[in-house]
Amino acid sequence: MRVPTDLEIVEEAVDVIARHCLASGLGARAARFNLRVALSEALSNAIVYGNGLDPSKSVDVRIEIATQNIAVHVSDEGDGFDPSSIPDPTLPDRIDRPDGRGLFLIRQLVDNVSFNDRGNAICMILRRA
């Protein structure tokens, strides 16, 4: 699925993808909560930080359905970033800062997270129940 760089589209894109994942055997809780929140964060980050809200760019979402898990790939057209450089938002000196929370949530809600070398694509793995 190709998603335009428009935050108003995120909810609709998440709805479509979550329905397909639920129909493909992802557990109801995982599809209705974990996937929806993680995918919303990944899409929002790609639109705002990756594509810099540039309407001439888009975000690609690809789903791989395997026997034991579902992989959700989100990639933007930005320069990328180093995920290890994002500080832990739960540290006492960072608790009031908004940055880093989306990536923190993603890591808490999915079973595995990885990034491409460039840092402009995330792969989120959810185990099928």
Taking all residues of the chain, what is their mean pLDDT, rounded to a whole number? 92
| 1.20.1050.10, 3.30.565.10, 3.90.320.10, 3.30.470.20: CATH of 2-127 | 3.30.565.10
pLDDT of 37 reads 96
pLDDT of 129 reads 66
- CA 29 vs CA 9, 36, 53, 59, 127: distances in Å: 23, 10, 31, 26, 12
Domain boundaries, the chain: 2-127
Compute the radius of gyration of the chain from its Cα atoms: 14
- List CB contacts of 83: < 8 A, sequence separation 6 or more: 103, 115, 119
pLDDT of 92 reads 79
Query: Could you read off the pLDDT of 82-125 as tens digits, one per residue?
Result: 998 887 877 777 777 777 788 999 999 999 999 999 999 999 99
Whole-prediction pTM = 0.91
pLDDT of 120 reads 98
pLDDT at 77 over 90: yes
